[in-house]
Structure 1
C-alpha cells in the first residue's frame, strides 16, 4: 500500500510538473515585448546607462543617483553600489562623459540632515541603503525600498514632468528634500529655492559642465500640503521659505500615516520658471498611476514595432532592451510654448519640435538609420533641430550637442549623415536649408574638446589633415566620408559644381594612403610622410588616431570601399588583412584608452569607428566570414547582465549594432542604399516600418551551430546578392534565410552579387 501511494505520489508530481511546464510555456508565449526590457542592463561595468523612468525621447529621465562623481557614475547610478543619494530628473544614456543629474529629490524620515553624505559612509548624511532584491525597473517605471527610512519610492515620467510617489511609515517627520546643488560632475554656479504655498516648491540651478552654462528651473507640486518648509543655505538651516546662493536646499516636512503615499510632480525648463510652470500645467491632469499607464503605453508602441520568434530568452532581452535604449536620446528640449535654449540664445521653434543631446559621432552609424526606419517623423524633428542651429541660431551644425550647447566632443561633422539618412527615408526636410547647413559646417573649423584642432582649414588647403594636428588620420577619413554625403545632397538638388567639389574632397582619403607601407599614415604639412611610429604602444598612436585605434580606421572608407580594396592590392590581399585583423592579438604597452575594449584580435568592438569592419568580407565575396564573426560578436560582447555590453552604450549605438545584426543585415555605409547581409539569430523577426509596411526576416534552421547562410529569398524569389537595399526593406515583404552548419562559400561570391561602394 505504501508502495502504491508512493507511485501515485510520483505520478501526481509528474502531472503537476507537466502542468507547470505547460503553464510556463503559456506564460512565455504570452510575454509582450515590454516584458523583455531590463533597464538594469548597462548599469554595471562601464556601460553607463541608467535604470530610472523615462518616455521615448523625453525631457525627463527620472532616475536614482548613487553618486555624482567618477567614471562609474556618468549616468549617476552604478549597479555595484548599495546606497542612494536621491532621485534626479535628467540623465545621459550610456555616454563616455558626465553631466546632468538635475534637481534631486530625496525622501527621508526623522531629524533633518543637511548634506547627503558620502557613498563610502552613508550615515554621514541623508543617504539610504537599498538592495536589488527590493528594486524594480521597467520601461517608464522605477521602484526601490529605502532601507534606512522604511520608504517605498516609485518613479515614472511624462514628456516634461517627473512623477514621484513616496510611501511613508507613520511619522511626524516625513521629509522631502530638494537639492538643486547635486549635479553629475559639473560645477554649481548658483541655486535658488522658494515656496509660496504649502503644496508647491520652485527654484533653479545654474551650472557649468559638459553641456556648458545652463539653467534648470523647476516647479514641484505635492499631493498633500506640508506642515513646515525650511531652507538651508551654505550648510545652515533657516526658517525662511526662500533663499539663493551657491548652496541652497529645501526641506518639506509632513505628518504621515502608516503606508500613506505622497505624490510629487516636478516640471522642469531650461528657459524660465514660467516655462517650468507651463510644462507642469501641461501634465497637471495626471496622477502617478495615469502617468505610469501613459508611459508604458508609449513604450509598448515603440517596442511592439518588433515581433520575435525563436532565439533564447537572453537574446530577446538584449534585443528589446536595445530597442528601448535607442529611443531614449536625443531628448526633448523645448517648453510647451515652443521656447528653447540653443547655443546660448532663447529661441522659439516654428514648425518643428526642438530636441538636443545629439551624440551624432556615435549614432550616425546605426542608431539613426534604425530610428529613421521605425519613426521617420522623429528623425525629421531631430534633423530640423540640427538644421535650426544654422538657420535660427545663426551658428553651425554641432559635433556633440548637449542641452543646446555644442561641447565639440569627437571629430568631423557627423550631423551631416544623420540629416541625410532622414532625408533618404522620407523625412520632410527643406533640402536647400539642409545643404546650406552642411556646406557651412564643411568650411568652419571647430576645435574639438576631446581631440584638439579640427584641422579643417588645412584639410581644405592640402587635401588632408597634417600630422602636426592631433588625430589627423581619423579626422581626414571622417571628413572625406562626410564630404561624400554632402555631395549626394548636392547631386539630388542638381548642384553640379558643388557635387563635383565635394566628390573631389571625398577622395582625400587617398592623400594619406602611404603606398610603401600599404596603409593610412600621417603626412606632414610640407607633404612629407611622417617617420616611424612605435606600433606596440598606445601613446604614440593616440597622436594620430582617435583613441589610438589605428585598427578601426585602417578600413574606414565606407563610401569608396571597392576603390580602397584595389588600393590595398586587390580582393585577395584585402581578405588576408581582414583575417589578420580578427585573428592576431595585440600586445600593446602603456595605458589603453578606455574606449578601446572588446577585442577580437586587433578589432575592438567597444569603439564605434570599426563597427562596420566585420561586414567588410561581403565586399570581397567572403560573406561566410562575416556571418561567423557577427555571430561571435553578438555572443561574446553582449549579455542580459548589468554589465551587458563591452563599453559605453553611447546613446544607442552599441545596441543598434546588435539589433541590425540580430536581424541579419547592417548599414556599413550610412547614406548608401545597401544593407550588408550577416547572420540572423532569431527564427523570425517582423519590423513594422514608419511607412505602415512590415519587413519580416525568416531564418530557417538557424541555431548556434547553424550560423551560415545557405541561400536567400526575397518574397519567394531567389536572392543571390549579399546585401539588400533600403528600397527593398521599405517596400515590405519577407526575407528568408536558409541556414546551415557549414559555410556556403559560393553565396555572394560573384562580383555582381557583392555590395558596391565606389566613388559616384
Structure 2
C-alpha cells in the first residue's frame, strides 16, 4: 500500500481506525499511544550542547510538511525552538531534518492584536509551557501579549489553524514568506492569500518554489503587505527578497478565526488540490481527530505493557521520532497519480520521491525499524531512491531536499540491500543496484555522494591519510561494510561471480586499517606505514565526529574477524570494557574547539562511550559475539535508563532523522540490528514485561519478560515458540512468522546462557 493510499484510507474511515488500534485499557489506563508522545523532548538544545537538537514537529508520519512553533527571531537559524525561550514569534511550516543541515521552503503565520508589528522580535509574545500543549497531531499556546490562543493541527500536505481572539478592532493574522525570494497575493473576495517562498540551504534547482495557499473563514476588514519589513497598507500583492501579507479583522471576545493552509512544490493549483483533498470541508476538530487516528494506527503497531509512565513516554516519543523521516516528497495530481517536483533536475515527474535523510545516521537502526514494521512504506522509499538516481545520476546519501555535502560513506548500499534481502519488493532494484555499482567505482560531485577517495580504496584496500582525503579511516570502514551489503545483494541477484568475489574481498578491507600493536583502528599512509603520532582520543582527522575509541568497533559485518585481530575473546571484551573505564579525555585539535559531540560525551560519566553520536551506538551489543551477553544486557539497560528521559533535555546528543530514537525503540524491545543486511537482530534484554509487534503481514510477534524490573535486567533463560532458545540473536525471518519469545529475568549476571560459540550472532568470518 502506498503512503497516499494509506492516507486516503484514514481520511475515509478514521473513526474505525482509531477504534481498531485496540489500546489496552488495563495496561495503559486508556491513554492513547500518541498522548504518551512529548514532542518537546530534546528541544532544550543549542549549538554547543545538544540534548536532542529537536523541534516540536506537529505532523503526520513522513508528511510533506511539518509545522512547529518558533521562539528564535532569527528566521534562518536552524535552532528555531528552544525550550528555555520565553516568547513565540510565529508558527512555521518546516522541512528541517536537522539544525546542522538547516531548513528549506519555510514560511510562517502569526496572530497579533493591537498596533501592527511585523518584525519577528516585535510581533513575538510571551508564553508559558504551563499554557502550552504539544502532541504529534496538535499544538496550542496562549500568546499573552495578544490575548490569543493559537492552535494548529496537520495533514500530510496541509494544516488547519484556529485562533481565539479577544474583542478588538485590531486583530491581525500575518503570513511571513521569509527571505531569499518570496511572493504574496491577497484575494479578499476569496478570503485567501496565495504566494510562494524559495528559501533553502543549497542542493536545489533554480526553479525551486514552495507554493502556498491560506483560506480564512472570516471576511477581511483591511489588508497590507510588507517588503523587507516595510509595511504597505492597502497593498494586495508583493514580490521581493522578503515579503509578507497582513489581513485584519474585527473580533469579539472569544471569537475564533480558522485558517486552512496547504502547499505544494509543483504549483498553486496543486496546493489548492492538496487542500481540497486533505482538508476539504472538515472543521478543525475533525482534522485533529484524523491526524490523531493516523498516529494511533502507526504507533499502535508496537504495543508495550508492564513499564513505568516515563518508559511509556520514552518509548512512544522515540517511536514518533522514527516515523517523521524520511519525508514523503510525493504529491497526487488531478488524475490521482503520484507525481513529484524533482529537487535534482527541477522537472515534474511521475512516481514517488523521498528526501530529508542522512544515511550515515539512519542506516544503523532507523531504516531497519521501518523495514521491519512498515515494509510497504519502505518499498515506496526505495522507489524514491531509484527515482533520485534516474534524475540526478547518483544515489542520495544526505538529501534535503536535493544532494547536500554532509557526512561520509555510501550507506545507501546498506538500506537498499537490507530492504531487498528482507524480501521487500515493489521497486526498481536493477536501477538501484546500478547506482550501487557506480558508487563503488566513483567519487561524486559532492564529497558526500559516491565515494571520496575511492581510487585509493579500490587499489590499496584503504583510504590513506596522506592523500588529502580527510576522515580516511572512517571512510575505509564504512566502505568496507557497504561492500559487504553489496556482496550479499549481488549473491541474491545472481550477479557474475567475479563481481560477487570483488565485493567479498572489499568487505574485508577493514583489516587494512587495524593496528595490532594498539588494538585500534588507525590512520595509514599511502606507503603502508602508520600515521604518527597516534592519539586514540583525537577526534576528527582520520575519523568522523569521533575518535579511535568509537570507530574501532565499526566492523558491523565481521565482529568475529575483529575479535581475531585483537587476539581473542578476552582481549576483545577487555577492550570493550575499557571504553567505559577510560577517562573521557579528548584531543580536539582537528576542530580547534570541543565540538558538541565531545561535550556530550564528557558530561555523561561513561568514559569514552559517546552514545550521543552514532558511530558507537551498536558497540554495547558486541559482547554477545565474545560470549559475554550479560554485559550487553547491563550496558543496554544502563544507556536506556541514563541517557533517555521524557524531558526537554532528555536526550544525549543529536536525534538525527530518528536514528538515536530507533536505537531506543529496538533496545527497549530487547534486540538491535547491529549488521543490517545480515538478517539478524542481536539481543540485549527487553525493557518491558511484554511487547507485541503487529506486523504488516498480519502476524504478531510478542516478547514476554514477566519478571522484568529495574533490578531484574539479566536474562537467565529464553524460549522461542515454546522451545528452549540460547541464541543471542533473532532472525528477521523468524520474527515475520510471528510467535512468542519468553525471557526469564534475574537480578544478577547469569553466565551460563548464550555463551556457546554457536549462540553468537552473524559474522562474515564465520560464514561457511
Is the TM-score greater than 0.5?
Answer: yes
What residue is the counterpart of 1:21 in the other structure? none
Number of the residue aligned with 1:240:
235
Q: 1:615 to 1:274 in 2, by over 3 A?
A: same
What runs of 5+ residues in structure 1 fail to find an aligned partner?
Answer: 1-24, 118-124, 182-187
* Post-superposition CA distance 1:676-697 (Å, at most 9, x none): 1111111111111111111100
Superposition map of 1:383-422 within 5 A: 383-391=382-390, 393-403=391-401, 405-422=402-419
Deviation at 1:291, TM superposition (A): 1.1
Alignment equivalent of 1:194, drawn from 173, 181, 185:
185
Other structure's SS at 1:81 match: coil
For the 8 Å contact 2:536–2:548, the answer to whether it is kept is no
Which one of the candidate residues 597, 621, 626 is aligned to 1:615? 621
CA distance in 2, matches of 1:234, 1:675: 54
SS of corresponding position for 1:705? coil
Q: 2:66 aligns with which of 57, 61, 72?
A: 61
Asked if the contact 1:369/1:670 (under 8 Å) is kept, the reply is: yes
Match among 129, 133, 147 for residue 132 of structure 1: 129
Confirm or deny: 8 A CA contact 1:93 1:649 kept in the other structure: no
**1:732 equivalent in alignment to 2:734:** no
Q: Distance in 2 between matches of 1:318 and 1:482?
A: 31
In 1, Cα distance between equivalents of 2:75 and 2:365:
29
Unaligned regions of 5+ residues in structure 2, if any? 1-24
* Partner residue in 1 for 2:715: 709
Pair 561,150 (structure 1): closer, same or farther in 2 beyond 3 Å: same
Equivalent residue in structure 2 for 1:90, among 94, 113, 122:
94
1:280 Cα deviation after fit: 2.2
Q: Give the 5 Å matches for 1:174-323.
A: 174-181=171-178, 188-198=179-189, 199-209=191-201, 212=204, 214-238=208-232, 239-283=234-278, 284-323=280-319
**Quick one: structure 1 residues 396 and 683, their matched pair in 2 at CA, closer, same or farther if it must change by over 3 Å?**
same
Q: By how many angstroms is 1:343 displaced?
A: 4.1
In the aligned structure 2, how far is the partner of 1:652 from the partner of 1:95?
A: 14
Aligned to 1:440: 438
In the alignment, is the contact (CA less than 8 A) between 2:86 and 2:126 conserved in 1? yes
Give the superposition deviation at 1:447.
Answer: 6.4
In the alignment, which of 624, 638, 642 is matched to residue 632 of structure 1?
638
TM-score by length of 2: 0.90
Q: List per-residue Cα deviations over 1:531-561 (Å, max 9, x = no partner).
A: 213445x4xx411111133211111111111
User: In the alignment, which of 749, 753, 756 is matched to residue 743 of structure 1?
Assistant: 749
CA, structure 1 residues 75+161, in 2 after alignment: closer, same or farther (shift >3 Å)?
Answer: farther
Flag the 1:77–1:737 CA change in 2: closer, same or farther, 3 A. same
Residue in structure 2 matched with residue 503 of structure 1 by the alignment:
504
SS of aligned partner of 2:596: coil
Contact 1:88/1:101 (<8 A) preserved: no
2:595 aligned residue (572, 593, 596): 593
CA contact (8 A) 1:64 1:77 kept: yes
Per the alignment, do residues 347 and 246 of structure 1 end up closer, same or farther by CA in structure 2, a change over 3 Å counting?
closer
After superposition, what is the alpha-carbon deviation per residue over 1:435-485, rounded to whole angstroms, capped at 9, x for unaligned?
Answer: 112112222213666899821222122221110311000010000000111
Q: Which moved more, 1:723-732 or 1:454-463?
A: 454-463
Q: Is the 8 A contact 2:364 2:673 kept in 1?
A: yes
SS of the residue 1:67 aligns to: coil
1:18 maps to: none
C-alpha deviation, 1:737, in angstroms: 0.5
| 8 Å contact from structure 1 (residues 96, 650) kept in 2 | no
* Contact preservation (8 Å) 1:713, 1:735: yes
Distance 1:426 1:243, change over 3 A: same
SS at match of 2:553: coil
- Which is greater in Rg? 1
Where do residues 426-575 of structure 1 align in structure 2 (5 Å cutoff)?
A: 426-428=423-425, 429-446=427-444, 454-468=452-466, 469-495=469-495, 496-536=497-537, 538=538, 541-575=539-573
Which residue pairs with 2:22 in the alignment?
Answer: none
How far the C-alpha of 1:170 sits from its partner, in A, is 1.3
Q: Secondary structure at the match of 2:119?
A: coil
Change (3 A) 1:613 1:674: same
Matches within 5 A, 1:661-740: 661-740=667-746
* Corresponding residue of 2:158: 161
The Cα of 1:756 is off from its aligned counterpart by 2.4
Indicate how the Cα distance of structure 1 residues 26 and 615 shifts in structure 2: closer, same or farther if over 3 A, else same: closer
Tell me how far 1:712 sits from its aligned partner: 0.5
- 1:103-141 Cα offsets, whole Å, 9 max, x none, are 111100122113112xxxxxxx11111001110011210
Cα separation, 2, equivalents of 1:371 and 1:95 = 23
**In the alignment, is the contact (CA less than 8 A) between 1:75 and 1:93 conserved in 2?**
no
Separation in structure 1 between the aligned mates of residue 625 and residue 100 of structure 2, nearest angstrom = 32
Q: Give the Cα–Cα distance (whole angstroms) in 2 for the partners of residues 242 and 304 of structure 1.
A: 46
SS at match of 1:650: coil
Aligned-partner Cα distance in 2 for 1:745–1:281? 62
CA distance in 2, matches of 1:417, 1:492: 14
Distance 1:450 1:384 in 2: 21
SS in 1 for 2:545: helix
- Structure 2 distance, partners of 1:395, 1:218, is 30
The 1:339/1:452 distance shift into structure 2, 3 A limit, reads closer
Q: Distance in 1 between matches of 2:583 and 2:713?
A: 24
Distance across 2 between alignment mates of 1:603 and 1:210: 34
CA distance in 2, matches of 1:101, 1:244: 16
Q: Pick closer, same or farther for the CA change 1:424–1:223 going to 2, 3 Å.
A: farther
- Are the aligned partners of 1:413 and 1:482 in contact in 2 as well (CA < 8 Å)? yes
Residues 312-360 of structure 1: per-residue CA shift (max 9 Å, x gap): 110111001111111111112122224423343234454x432211222
Give the drift of 1:433.
Answer: 2.1
Maintained 8 Å contact 1:49/1:92: no
SS at match of 2:764: coil
Distance 1:102 1:369 in 2: 30
Q: Distance in 2 between matches of 1:76 and 1:109?
A: 23
| Separation (CA, whole Å) in 2 of partners of 1:206 and 1:35 | 35
RMSD of equivalent CA atoms: 2.1
Residues 97 and 356 in structure 2, CA contact (< 8 A), matched pair in contact too: no
Query: Contact 2:213–2:271 at 8 Å: present in 1 too?
Result: yes
Where 1:700 maps in the other structure, the secondary structure is coil
2:422 equivalent in structure 1: 425
What do residues 605-635 of structure 1 show as CA deviations (whole Å, max 9, x unaligned)? Answer: 1111111100000001000010111010001
- Structure 1 pair 480–317 and aligned structure 2 pair: CA distance change class (3 A): same
Residue pair 2:182, 2:243 contacting (<8 A) in 1 also: yes
Q: Give yes or no for the alignment of 1:377 onto 2:376.
A: yes
Match of 1:581 in 2: 579
TM-score by length of 1: 0.91
Conserved? CA contact 2:681–2:730, under 8 Å = yes
Change in 2 beyond 3 A, CA 1:234/1:665: closer
Aligned length: 716
